[in-house]
Amino acid sequence: MEIKKYTFDNLIGENADFVKLIKNAKKAANSNSSVFISGETGTGKELIAQSIHFASDRQDRPFIAQNCAALPENLLEGILFGTVKGSYTGAVDREGLFEQAEGGTLLLDEISVMPYDLQGKLLRVLQEDYVRRVGGMNDIPIDVRIMATINEPIHQLLQYGRLRKDLFYRINIIGLEAMPLRERLDDIEVLADFFLKKHNRKNNKQIWRITKEAKEKLKRYDYPGNIRELENIIMSAVSMATDEHKLTVEDIRIQENLDHIDAPVLREFIRSKKSLNDFVGEIENDIIKETLKTNDGNVSKTAEALGMKRQTLQHKLRKANRK
Ligand SMILES: Nc1ncnc2c1ncn2[C@@H]1O[C@H](COP(=O)(O)OP(=O)(O)OP(=O)(O)O)[C@@H](O)[C@H]1O
Ligand SMILES: [Mg+2]
Protein backbone atom coordinates (compact mmCIF):
# COMPACT_ATOMS: atom_id res chain seq x y z
CA MET A 1 0.00 0.00 0.00
CA GLU A 2 1.94 2.89 -1.28
CA ILE A 3 1.05 6.18 0.34
CA LYS A 4 1.72 9.46 -1.35
CA LYS A 5 0.72 12.38 0.75
CA TYR A 6 -1.60 14.50 -1.36
CA THR A 7 -3.26 17.67 -0.11
CA PHE A 8 -5.69 20.19 -1.59
CA ASP A 9 -2.68 22.10 -2.97
CA ASN A 10 -2.16 19.25 -5.41
CA LEU A 11 -5.66 19.51 -6.83
CA ILE A 12 -5.41 21.77 -9.84
CA GLY A 13 -8.33 23.21 -11.82
CA GLU A 14 -10.39 26.33 -12.35
CA ASN A 15 -13.47 24.91 -14.06
CA ALA A 16 -16.58 26.08 -12.21
CA ASP A 17 -17.89 22.59 -11.44
CA PHE A 18 -14.46 21.47 -10.35
CA VAL A 19 -14.16 24.45 -8.00
CA LYS A 20 -17.53 23.51 -6.51
CA LEU A 21 -16.34 19.94 -6.05
CA ILE A 22 -13.24 21.11 -4.19
CA LYS A 23 -15.35 23.40 -2.03
CA ASN A 24 -17.51 20.46 -1.02
CA ALA A 25 -14.45 18.28 -0.44
CA LYS A 26 -13.06 20.94 1.90
CA LYS A 27 -16.34 20.92 3.79
CA ALA A 28 -15.97 17.17 4.06
CA ALA A 29 -12.57 17.70 5.69
CA ASN A 30 -14.32 19.52 8.54
CA SER A 31 -16.67 16.67 9.15
CA ASN A 32 -16.38 13.10 10.27
CA SER A 33 -18.98 11.58 7.94
CA SER A 34 -18.32 8.88 5.39
CA VAL A 35 -17.51 9.99 1.88
CA PHE A 36 -18.52 8.38 -1.37
CA ILE A 37 -16.53 9.45 -4.44
CA SER A 38 -17.60 8.43 -7.92
CA GLY A 39 -15.74 9.09 -11.13
CA GLU A 40 -14.03 7.44 -14.06
CA THR A 41 -10.47 6.21 -13.82
CA GLY A 42 -7.85 8.93 -13.47
CA THR A 43 -10.23 11.71 -12.40
CA GLY A 44 -8.51 12.31 -9.07
CA LYS A 45 -10.63 10.26 -6.64
CA GLU A 46 -7.64 9.15 -4.59
CA LEU A 47 -6.24 12.66 -4.58
CA ILE A 48 -9.52 13.99 -3.25
CA ALA A 49 -9.79 11.28 -0.59
CA GLN A 50 -6.24 11.91 0.65
CA SER A 51 -6.69 15.66 0.58
CA ILE A 52 -9.78 15.35 2.77
CA HIS A 53 -7.99 13.07 5.20
CA PHE A 54 -4.87 15.22 5.48
CA ALA A 55 -6.96 18.33 6.06
CA SER A 56 -9.13 16.67 8.69
CA ASP A 57 -8.76 16.12 12.42
CA ARG A 58 -7.55 12.64 11.58
CA GLN A 59 -4.48 13.86 9.67
CA ASP A 60 -2.00 12.49 12.23
CA ARG A 61 -3.64 9.08 12.16
CA PRO A 62 -3.28 6.53 9.33
CA PHE A 63 -4.73 6.90 5.86
CA ILE A 64 -5.08 3.43 4.39
CA ALA A 65 -6.30 2.67 0.88
CA GLN A 66 -7.35 -0.77 -0.26
CA ASN A 67 -8.45 -1.58 -3.76
CA CYS A 68 -11.20 -4.17 -3.47
CA ALA A 69 -10.49 -5.40 -7.00
CA ALA A 70 -6.85 -6.13 -6.25
CA LEU A 71 -7.50 -9.09 -3.97
CA PRO A 72 -9.20 -12.46 -4.38
CA GLU A 73 -12.54 -12.12 -2.67
CA ASN A 74 -11.90 -14.91 -0.18
CA LEU A 75 -8.93 -12.95 1.21
CA LEU A 76 -10.60 -9.57 1.30
CA GLU A 77 -12.70 -10.29 4.37
CA GLY A 78 -9.67 -11.31 6.43
CA ILE A 79 -7.68 -8.34 5.18
CA LEU A 80 -10.43 -5.93 6.18
CA PHE A 81 -11.52 -7.40 9.48
CA GLY A 82 -8.43 -9.37 10.52
CA THR A 83 -8.09 -13.06 11.22
CA VAL A 84 -7.70 -15.32 14.22
CA LYS A 85 -5.25 -18.20 14.29
CA GLY A 86 -6.89 -21.48 13.39
CA SER A 87 -10.05 -19.93 11.94
CA TYR A 88 -9.09 -21.58 8.65
CA THR A 89 -6.07 -23.48 7.41
CA GLY A 90 -3.06 -21.23 7.55
CA ALA A 91 -4.85 -18.38 9.31
CA VAL A 92 -2.75 -16.37 11.73
CA ASP A 93 -3.57 -13.78 14.36
CA ARG A 94 -3.56 -10.60 12.37
CA GLU A 95 -5.27 -7.27 12.67
CA GLY A 96 -7.30 -6.13 9.72
CA LEU A 97 -7.27 -2.78 7.96
CA PHE A 98 -10.02 -1.46 10.22
CA GLU A 99 -7.82 -1.98 13.26
CA GLN A 100 -4.76 -0.63 11.44
CA ALA A 101 -6.63 2.50 10.43
CA GLU A 102 -7.82 3.15 13.99
CA GLY A 103 -8.44 6.85 14.49
CA GLY A 104 -7.79 7.49 10.80
CA THR A 105 -9.36 6.91 7.42
CA LEU A 106 -9.93 3.75 5.40
CA LEU A 107 -10.45 4.22 1.67
CA LEU A 108 -12.14 1.31 -0.07
CA ASP A 109 -11.47 1.63 -3.79
CA GLU A 110 -13.86 0.06 -6.27
CA ILE A 111 -16.21 -0.99 -3.53
CA SER A 112 -18.69 -2.36 -6.08
CA VAL A 113 -16.30 -5.23 -6.76
CA MET A 114 -16.71 -6.43 -3.19
CA PRO A 115 -18.84 -9.59 -3.03
CA TYR A 116 -22.44 -8.92 -2.08
CA ASP A 117 -22.29 -10.85 1.22
CA LEU A 118 -19.18 -9.03 2.28
CA GLN A 119 -20.87 -5.72 1.50
CA GLY A 120 -23.51 -6.76 4.05
CA LYS A 121 -20.88 -7.56 6.66
CA LEU A 122 -19.20 -4.25 6.00
CA LEU A 123 -22.49 -2.44 6.52
CA ARG A 124 -22.90 -4.12 9.88
CA VAL A 125 -19.43 -3.02 10.96
CA LEU A 126 -20.18 0.56 9.92
CA GLN A 127 -23.47 0.56 11.76
CA GLU A 128 -22.18 -0.96 14.95
CA ASP A 129 -18.69 0.57 15.10
CA TYR A 130 -16.93 -2.62 16.00
CA VAL A 131 -15.25 -5.42 14.06
CA ARG A 132 -14.93 -9.06 14.76
CA ARG A 133 -11.93 -10.79 13.23
CA VAL A 134 -12.67 -13.74 10.94
CA GLY A 135 -13.00 -16.72 13.26
CA GLY A 136 -12.81 -14.50 16.33
CA MET A 137 -15.14 -14.10 19.31
CA ASN A 138 -14.40 -10.57 20.46
CA ASP A 139 -15.97 -7.39 19.24
CA ILE A 140 -13.26 -4.82 18.79
CA PRO A 141 -14.46 -1.21 18.95
CA ILE A 142 -13.26 0.90 16.05
CA ASP A 143 -13.16 4.56 15.17
CA VAL A 144 -12.45 4.71 11.46
CA ARG A 145 -13.69 7.11 8.86
CA ILE A 146 -14.79 5.33 5.73
CA MET A 147 -14.41 6.57 2.20
CA ALA A 148 -15.31 4.56 -0.87
CA THR A 149 -14.91 5.01 -4.60
CA ILE A 150 -16.52 3.61 -7.70
CA ASN A 151 -15.49 3.99 -11.34
CA GLU A 152 -18.85 3.37 -12.93
CA PRO A 153 -22.05 5.40 -12.82
CA ILE A 154 -23.79 4.80 -9.52
CA HIS A 155 -27.24 4.20 -11.00
CA GLN A 156 -25.84 1.33 -13.05
CA LEU A 157 -24.26 -0.35 -10.05
CA LEU A 158 -27.42 -0.03 -7.98
CA GLN A 159 -29.62 -1.16 -10.85
CA TYR A 160 -27.58 -4.29 -11.53
CA GLY A 161 -27.33 -5.03 -7.83
CA ARG A 162 -23.55 -4.84 -7.80
CA LEU A 163 -23.61 -2.38 -4.96
CA ARG A 164 -26.00 -2.85 -2.05
CA LYS A 165 -28.33 0.09 -1.75
CA ASP A 166 -28.24 0.05 2.05
CA LEU A 167 -24.44 0.15 2.03
CA PHE A 168 -24.43 2.92 -0.55
CA TYR A 169 -26.79 5.09 1.49
CA ARG A 170 -24.75 4.43 4.64
CA ILE A 171 -21.52 5.64 3.01
CA ASN A 172 -22.94 8.34 0.75
CA ILE A 173 -23.40 10.81 3.60
CA ILE A 174 -21.10 13.07 1.66
CA GLY A 175 -21.24 12.31 -2.05
CA LEU A 176 -18.62 13.71 -4.40
CA GLU A 177 -18.49 13.32 -8.16
CA ALA A 178 -15.14 13.66 -9.89
CA MET A 179 -15.95 14.71 -13.43
CA PRO A 180 -14.15 13.34 -16.48
CA LEU A 181 -11.64 15.61 -18.14
CA ARG A 182 -13.76 15.91 -21.28
CA GLU A 183 -16.34 17.73 -19.15
CA ARG A 184 -13.79 20.27 -18.00
CA LEU A 185 -11.93 20.97 -21.23
CA ASP A 186 -11.29 24.49 -19.97
CA ASP A 187 -8.86 23.02 -17.46
CA ILE A 188 -6.65 21.22 -19.96
CA GLU A 189 -4.33 24.15 -20.39
CA VAL A 190 -3.98 24.81 -16.66
CA LEU A 191 -3.32 21.15 -15.98
CA ALA A 192 -0.89 20.79 -18.88
CA ASP A 193 1.12 23.78 -17.65
CA PHE A 194 1.12 22.37 -14.13
CA PHE A 195 2.38 18.96 -15.30
CA LEU A 196 4.96 20.63 -17.52
CA LYS A 197 6.42 22.44 -14.51
CA LYS A 198 6.33 19.32 -12.40
CA HIS A 199 8.13 17.12 -14.94
CA ASN A 200 10.55 19.84 -15.95
CA ARG A 201 11.68 19.92 -12.36
CA LYS A 202 11.83 16.13 -12.08
CA ASN A 203 13.86 15.79 -15.28
CA ASN A 204 16.05 18.85 -14.81
CA LYS A 205 14.82 20.28 -18.08
CA GLN A 206 14.26 23.84 -19.20
CA ILE A 207 11.11 23.53 -21.22
CA TRP A 208 9.17 26.65 -20.40
CA ARG A 209 6.09 26.52 -22.58
CA ILE A 210 3.74 24.53 -24.74
CA THR A 211 3.22 25.93 -28.23
CA LYS A 212 -0.21 27.09 -29.33
CA GLU A 213 -0.61 24.26 -31.85
CA ALA A 214 0.43 21.71 -29.25
CA LYS A 215 -2.22 23.08 -26.88
CA GLU A 216 -4.82 22.91 -29.63
CA LYS A 217 -3.92 19.28 -30.16
CA LEU A 218 -4.25 18.58 -26.44
CA LYS A 219 -7.71 20.13 -26.45
CA ARG A 220 -8.93 18.05 -29.37
CA TYR A 221 -8.46 14.76 -27.57
CA ASP A 222 -11.08 13.16 -25.31
CA TYR A 223 -8.91 11.45 -22.63
CA PRO A 224 -10.47 8.10 -21.76
CA GLY A 225 -7.78 7.88 -19.04
CA ASN A 226 -8.60 11.39 -17.85
CA ILE A 227 -6.08 13.46 -15.87
CA ARG A 228 -3.70 10.56 -15.40
CA GLU A 229 -3.53 10.17 -19.17
CA LEU A 230 -2.97 13.90 -19.70
CA GLU A 231 -0.12 13.79 -17.19
CA ASN A 232 1.43 10.81 -18.95
CA ILE A 233 1.23 12.57 -22.30
CA ILE A 234 3.02 15.63 -20.88
CA MET A 235 5.52 13.48 -19.01
CA SER A 236 6.51 11.62 -22.14
CA ALA A 237 6.55 14.85 -24.17
CA VAL A 238 8.94 16.42 -21.66
CA SER A 239 11.34 13.52 -21.70
CA MET A 240 11.28 13.15 -25.50
CA ALA A 241 11.08 16.82 -26.49
CA THR A 242 13.17 17.80 -29.51
CA ASP A 243 13.32 21.52 -28.70
CA GLU A 244 15.18 22.56 -25.59
CA HIS A 245 12.70 25.18 -24.44
CA LYS A 246 9.25 24.33 -25.74
CA LEU A 247 6.87 21.44 -26.28
CA THR A 248 5.73 21.30 -29.87
CA VAL A 249 2.86 19.55 -31.58
CA GLU A 250 5.19 16.69 -32.58
CA ASP A 251 6.06 16.05 -28.93
CA ILE A 252 2.42 15.54 -28.01
CA ARG A 253 1.92 11.91 -28.81
CA ILE A 254 -1.73 11.18 -28.54
CA GLN A 255 -3.28 7.91 -29.49
CA GLU A 256 -4.47 8.22 -33.06
CA ASN A 257 -7.77 9.98 -33.48
CA LEU A 258 -10.32 7.27 -34.03
CA ASP A 259 -13.06 9.47 -35.45
CA HIS A 260 -12.44 8.21 -38.97
CA ILE A 261 -13.53 4.72 -37.93
CA ASP A 262 -17.21 4.45 -38.79
CA ALA A 263 -18.22 1.63 -36.50
CA PRO A 264 -18.79 3.02 -32.97
CA VAL A 265 -18.33 -0.40 -31.43
CA LEU A 266 -14.89 -0.69 -32.99
CA ARG A 267 -13.90 2.72 -31.65
CA GLU A 268 -15.12 1.74 -28.24
CA PHE A 269 -13.19 -1.52 -28.42
CA ILE A 270 -9.92 0.18 -29.37
CA ARG A 271 -10.33 2.77 -26.63
CA SER A 272 -11.13 0.17 -24.01
CA LYS A 273 -7.65 -1.37 -24.47
CA LYS A 274 -9.25 -4.66 -23.44
CA SER A 275 -8.79 -8.03 -25.13
CA LEU A 276 -11.54 -8.97 -27.57
CA ASN A 277 -12.58 -11.75 -25.23
CA ASP A 278 -13.02 -9.45 -22.22
CA PHE A 279 -14.74 -6.79 -24.29
CA VAL A 280 -17.23 -9.19 -25.86
CA GLY A 281 -17.75 -10.87 -22.48
CA GLU A 282 -18.78 -7.56 -20.93
CA ILE A 283 -21.23 -6.80 -23.72
CA GLU A 284 -22.66 -10.29 -23.33
CA ASN A 285 -23.13 -9.78 -19.60
CA ASP A 286 -24.84 -6.44 -20.15
CA ILE A 287 -27.25 -7.98 -22.66
CA ILE A 288 -28.01 -10.87 -20.33
CA LYS A 289 -28.63 -8.57 -17.37
CA GLU A 290 -30.91 -6.30 -19.36
CA THR A 291 -32.87 -9.22 -20.79
CA LEU A 292 -33.21 -10.75 -17.34
CA LYS A 293 -34.60 -7.48 -16.12
CA THR A 294 -37.18 -7.18 -18.88
CA ASN A 295 -38.23 -10.75 -18.06
CA ASP A 296 -38.56 -10.03 -14.32
CA GLY A 297 -35.63 -12.27 -13.52
CA ASN A 298 -37.21 -15.33 -15.08
CA VAL A 299 -34.31 -17.48 -16.32
CA SER A 300 -36.30 -19.69 -18.71
CA LYS A 301 -37.92 -16.75 -20.47
CA THR A 302 -34.61 -14.93 -20.65
CA ALA A 303 -32.89 -17.97 -22.16
CA GLU A 304 -35.62 -18.21 -24.75
CA ALA A 305 -35.37 -14.53 -25.60
CA LEU A 306 -31.62 -14.87 -26.00
CA GLY A 307 -31.90 -18.02 -28.09
CA MET A 308 -29.84 -20.14 -25.72
CA LYS A 309 -30.40 -23.15 -23.52
CA ARG A 310 -31.45 -22.57 -19.95
CA GLN A 311 -28.39 -24.47 -18.68
CA THR A 312 -26.08 -22.35 -20.81
CA LEU A 313 -27.61 -19.19 -19.39
CA GLN A 314 -27.36 -20.47 -15.84
CA HIS A 315 -23.73 -21.34 -16.39
CA LYS A 316 -23.06 -17.85 -17.72
CA LEU A 317 -24.89 -16.23 -14.80
CA ARG A 318 -22.87 -18.20 -12.29
CA LYS A 319 -19.68 -17.24 -14.08
CA ALA A 320 -20.66 -13.54 -14.15
CA ASN A 321 -21.48 -13.61 -10.44
CA ARG A 322 -18.09 -15.01 -9.61
CA LYS A 323 -16.37 -12.05 -11.32
N1 LIG B 1 -7.16 17.93 -10.13
C2 LIG B 1 -5.95 17.39 -10.32
N3 LIG B 1 -4.86 18.18 -10.33
C4 LIG B 1 -3.66 17.66 -10.56
N5 LIG B 1 -3.43 16.37 -10.80
C6 LIG B 1 -4.45 15.54 -10.79
C7 LIG B 1 -5.78 15.99 -10.54
N8 LIG B 1 -6.60 14.94 -10.58
C9 LIG B 1 -5.84 13.89 -10.86
N10 LIG B 1 -4.54 14.22 -11.00
C11 LIG B 1 -3.43 13.35 -11.39
O12 LIG B 1 -3.99 12.17 -11.95
C13 LIG B 1 -3.48 11.01 -11.33
C14 LIG B 1 -4.62 10.08 -11.06
O15 LIG B 1 -5.38 10.53 -9.96
P16 LIG B 1 -6.03 9.51 -8.94
O17 LIG B 1 -5.09 8.39 -8.67
O18 LIG B 1 -6.53 10.29 -7.79
O19 LIG B 1 -7.23 9.00 -9.84
P20 LIG B 1 -8.40 7.96 -9.49
O21 LIG B 1 -9.67 8.65 -9.79
O22 LIG B 1 -8.20 7.44 -8.10
O23 LIG B 1 -8.15 6.85 -10.59
P24 LIG B 1 -8.44 5.25 -10.53
O25 LIG B 1 -9.92 5.09 -10.61
O26 LIG B 1 -7.76 4.73 -11.77
O27 LIG B 1 -7.86 4.74 -9.27
C28 LIG B 1 -2.77 11.47 -10.07
O29 LIG B 1 -1.56 10.80 -9.91
C30 LIG B 1 -2.51 12.94 -10.28
O31 LIG B 1 -1.20 13.11 -10.75
MG1 LIG C 1 -7.76 5.47 -7.41
Q: What is the pLDDT along the chain (323 residues), one digit of tens a residue?
A: 556 689 999 999 999 999 999 999 999 999 999 999 999 999 999 999 999 999 999 999 999 999 998 888 789 999 999 999 987 777 789 999 999 999 999 999 999 999 999 999 999 999 999 999 999 999 999 999 999 999 999 999 999 889 999 999 999 999 999 999 999 999 999 999 999 999 999 999 999 999 999 999 999 888 989 999 999 999 999 999 999 999 999 999 986 566 666 777 877 877 777 778 888 988 999 999 999 999 999 999 999 999 999 999 999 998 887 76
Q: In what order do the strands lie in the sheet with 145-150?
A: 63-67, 105-109, 145-150, 35-38, 174-177
Residue 8 and residue 22 in contact, taking contact as beta carbons nearer than 8 Å: yes
CA of 46 to the centre of ligand 2 (A): 5
pTM of the predicted model, to two decimals? 0.80
CA of 301 to the centre of ligand 2 (A): 40
151 lines ligand 1 (CB under 6 A): yes
Measured distance CA(117)–CA(139) in Å, rounded: 19
Q: Whose CA is nearest to atom 15 of ligand 1?
A: 44
45 lines ligand 1 (CB under 6 A): yes
Q: Whose CA is nearest to atom 26 of ligand 1?
A: 41
Measured distance CA(46)–CA(147) in Å, rounded: 10
CA of 240 to the centre of ligand 2 (A): 27
The sign of the dihedral angle between the CA atoms of 58, 12, 46, 129 is positive
